[in-house]
Structure 1
């Protein structure tokens, strides 16, 4: 069930851990009041491994009245400097969008990233590789009835400090704002809040992830260095409504439930 506090409404979900069975996770989501699960198409849930299970997965979501957000594999960098590799990445991500539509997702998350060697390719060239892929991927998502939610990354050009350039270029795209990635890119909680205030109409999805600041630890809210009250306050002021995934790096369901309880305390609804 959505968390509402003041003028802020969050549909809250969690990342489906790679070792968590799908049916068990969706049942847990319903039991603990999560609105959705976020399915990462990698590992046991890689597209090729689950294509024949999509109907059953959709039936489970319907049975428990839960939604799904699909995260395309982040290991597939669409902005490869090598054209055949880039074509392959676009093809794989597009096929992932097909699966996302079939399983009933409304939002699809993917990284506007490049694995170009920084000593071999200029920033301008690297951005052009990313744009070449996104020029196809953003319309492909829309053609399938999906909202393309580009995520701020850490190790490529389009981190939180440059992400407004990407939003300006792709008017049909929305953003996934990842708090841990933003911290690692150098943004304070106040700067995150300012970004969210400025781009509230373009942010459709949140990854609420904590970290102690030296690496992307995927901790529950409240277990790291991020001041989530300061991050989320501007969205409350804007009357923002959207989805928020607790991207916790665990397969332990109790820890995931703990993360939700922490978020509720931060929002003052616990």
Structure 2
């Protein structure tokens, strides 16, 4: 690995400035902010200058995760148009915060009994045809994330990378596992697509659900993942997407990742 900039998910219950201050004291490079709940775009907009100042003051970067509940793969065109409008507005906010990377899901929540994969893929494409250029126009790297609940999981993601050469990828380890990838297959994927994977979600799990555990606290084998990253001299950002606001647990996750570097 040439460089792995490490961050963590800023949980919805975590106050922004104190968390950013703690991040720099622990040596994190950035925080990842999901624009939902208390950090939804309309709630954050009045605080953007204050938040950007906190990041600058403490020397911490930011990755913005656009909300995933709005459905870019809706079968209904007016819904898709509204989702695109909201996600593009989130991109504008990301720029104000100083982000250069936005993460979002190429997913569809369409009723599975009513719409088949071929149709839902086209709904997703319709939104991505607008969202990927919108990100690039704003100087943002659109890092599409492999998901579990609709067509573009880790096993089919190369199709999306081929269709959208201007898009990058967020590779989520837990999502890849839940899609049926073995640890060795994750390593092979990262070796093959290292030039397109610009961001990682390093997540562990103990079973068949997305538990958002720190690396080393579940049963995923991360050796092939980090072996691949070292082999290709990977350079990018990685988020500890941990489902906790406990600083001690986040710090443990950081130590576990650093032991692989």
Tell me the TM-score normalized by structure 1. 0.95
CA distance in structure 1 between the partners assigned to 2:71 and 2:6 by the alignment: 27
Offset, 1:185:
0.2
Contact 1:183 1:213 in 2 (8 A): no
Q: Are residue 216 (structure 1) and residue 210 (structure 2) matched? A: yes
Matched, 1:134 2:124: no
1:19 corresponds to which residue? 13
- For residue 252 of structure 2, what is the aligned residue in structure 1? 258
Quote the residue 2:119 is aligned against: 125
2:141 aligned with 1:147, yes or no? yes
SS at 1:266's partner residue? coil
Residues 180-259 of structure 1: pairs in structure 2 closer than 5 A: 180-259=174-253
- Give the count of matched residue pairs: 261
Match of 1:109 in 2: 103
CA-CA distance at 1:264 after TM superposition:
1.5
Question: Structure 2 residue aligned with 1:9, among 3, 9, 30?
Answer: 3
| SS of the residue 1:194 aligns to | helix
The CA distance in 1 between the partners of 2:256 and 2:43, in whole Å, is 34
Considering only aligned residues, what root-mean-square deviation do their CA atoms show, in Å? 0.7
Equivalent residue number for residue 36 of structure 2: 42
Tell me, yes or no, if structure 1 residue 97 matches structure 2 residue 120: no
Q: Deviations over 1:217-259 (max 9, x none)?
A: 0000001111112112111101111000000000111111111
Shift of 1:265: 2.1
* Deviation readout 1:128-183 (Å, 9 max, x if unpaired): 00000000000000011100000000001000000000000000000000000000
The structural deviation recorded for 1:194 is 0.5
Partner-residue secondary structure (3-state), 1:245: strand
Structure 2: stretches of 5+ with no match in the other structure: none
Partner of 1:84: 78
Larger displacement relative to structure 2 (224-233 or 245-254): 224-233
Structure 1 runs not aligned, ≥5 long? 1-6
Match of 2:56 among 62, 86, 93: 62
The SS at the match of 2:88 is: helix
Whether contact under 8 Å (1:72, 1:108) holds in the other structure is yes
